[in-house]
Amino acid sequence: MNWHAVRAIYRFEMARTFRTITQSIASPVLSTSLYFVVFGAAIGSRMGDIDGISYGAFIIPGLIMLSLLNESISNASFGIYMPKWSGTIFELLSAPVSYIEVVIGYVGAAATKSVMLGLLILATAWIFVPYRIEHPLWMACFLVLTAVTFSLFGFIIGLWADDFQKLQVIPLMIVTPLTFLGGAFYSINMLPPVWQKITLFNPVVYLISGFRWSFFGVSDVNVAISVGAIVGFLVLCLFAVWWIFRTGYKLKN
């Protein structure tokens, strides 16, 4: 394993984050804080508890997951797309660096940024809403595992995209709607029985439910199923990355 190459890619990507800290860190934190102000402080104070949890605290895991998914995908996809767009990816492919080292460098940096952002949002939430974390170790595991998985998914999108518009298609038109409909602002048990069954086909439900369980000990679906869903998607993404580098899809041209 060429750890010098991994470290170089990782440091380059992290340096880009700190050069654009307003866009990369401050903007998502500020946007999520507005959700806390509107839904947590203003609307939440007029709503009843959900499963014995105040509404403002109940939406914290969903809001963190909303930012985590979008930022993980965006950071990883943009990071690998720029070398494709500028043509420097051919220098990377011809260097004595394996695709495993390339993936570790880019995905590791994107996941690190997302975890940092998630922790900042978690700290910011305390300003607006008091909350508890019943299973901090599991919370950290869900946070890291989700960040790595969706950074890997974003890496695939960056390899697939032909232009900048395609980088935003999946995050804006698929991931964000699925997150809003996946129980970020409500429990799926509040839905009619038919819609509860339909909602279970939304994969984001399992992410939010497992993450919420780590905070409050309550979940809409079995926690083991939530972990299995994340691990299953991670394995699927790993296979897709292996296939892309094995066949040269979107790389050789």
Residue 252 in any domain: the answer is no
- For residue range 148-177, what is the model confidence (pLDDT) as tens digits? 999 999 999 988 888 888 888 888 888 888
Ramachandran assignment for 174, one of left (phi > 0), alpha (psi -120 to 50 degrees), beta (any other): alpha
- For residue range 4-21, what is the model confidence (pLDDT) as tens digits? 788 888 888 888 777 777
- For residue range 192-247, what is the model confidence (pLDDT) as tens digits? 889 888 898 998 999 999 999 999 988 888 999 999 999 999 999 999 999 988 88
**What span, in angstroms and rounded, lies between the C-alpha atoms of 135 and 62?**
16
Residue 47 in any domain: the answer is yes
pLDDT of residue 138: 93
Residue 42 belongs to what domain range? 3-247
pTM of structure: 0.89
Q: How many domains does the chain have?
A: 1
Buried b (16+ CB within 10 A) or exposed e, 48-77: eebeebbbbbbbbbbbbbbbbbbbbbbbbb
CB atoms inside a 10 Å sphere around CB 209? 25
**What span, in angstroms and rounded, lies between the C-alpha atoms of 46 and 206?**
28
Residue 253 in any domain: the answer is no
Residue 109 in any domain: the answer is yes
